[in-house]
Structure 1
């Protein structure tokens, strides 16, 4: 139902016209008071605030003050636009949420997780100086996972031009581990700044043969070592009078 125009009373109206106008205006007022206002009766509302329960419509678009920013909801989902691109899209059919950036943090600011489109990375931050950063395009060519703790950095990165996966930590030397060429024929390089420490040689294994390095050393000593005593000079040019004794190739005295 659409409203009839409200009738203005005038001095020239007859009694029947006054009665008819009053009836029309009464009917319109009753219709409005009973909540019968619909799309046939209203084209635009200018209001500071609108209070409502269920808003039943095909599409709702909320514009920013300048008219370029908007937020819309329709049967397909939800869209937010900053005036030049969609910054948020939610597909109701699939439940897929697409956002161009995100920041999830505690009330104190840290810890937090950030998807950063400006620096093209994804960061997990414990505080302002401790974080893990996933950078898919480090230096323009290399995907890298960076570990930062105060003044020290370490990273795991794949260098496509060298066909190499590298682990380096920290910045001041540390150790660098490289796996290159890939597959079963690849190389593994260890470059410690100081020592390469292993618990014992029995922990280093020849995998295809199932033999430890300690076993290999023992077999070499036992199989080809000398037994007996030899005499060597204790000083340069001196007589060979100092005995050295070997058992299975191992010096015992």
Structure 2
């Protein structure tokens, strides 16, 4: 018989045996939870993602936009989060004008992935056109360094576990306005995007900061929500740089407290001097 449904914590406490040159000892540590989240859209099973069980309504909104199932916030009618014995059910209900694209994606599904390729049928669909982005707001290196310096203060789950990614939005001065965390870097950004959609936060007025490497899917998520400047802690892939230049996204990578690299600067904002 299945265990009864329960709420799932974002972290759990475990005991470990610690080993050192001096011998062995017991240690207690908080460990990040990673649970299956089964996503259905308009009643159709769509994807199963491994995610941190927090801010899942934000995740639903951001996932719908990143998957191009919606174009606007008002196309989401409701979201239901239902904890079950073995994971979480996440149900999205969209307006009727979105139903056909949902059916089309479900019909052509070739695999489940957290990398933004669910239901993609061919290579042309894998690299779909992105909106053209204007130059970022008047943001200088000082603002980026300020956001980097304060990011740890917005990562409570990572402070406990040391095992999750963060995605944050900062204003033009480098003040972090919102942040979300998840075991998956794509999930963390989707949660942040969902928060922006739900609250009316304008991503184009500042910049996004991610504690991960920059793959092309993260560039695409940024472009779809209107982020014009994306900053990542780790390195980008070649395709991420190519896609950023193509859509007008300014991309800064390998961002550290004392140095960062301008990977893509299509509007010559940072490289004009």
TM-score bracket for this pair, using the shorter chain length: under 0.3
More strand by share: 1
| TM-score with structure 2 setting the length | 0.21
| TM-score with structure 1 setting the length | 0.23
Higher relative contact order (CA 8 A, sep 6+): 2
More helix by share: 2
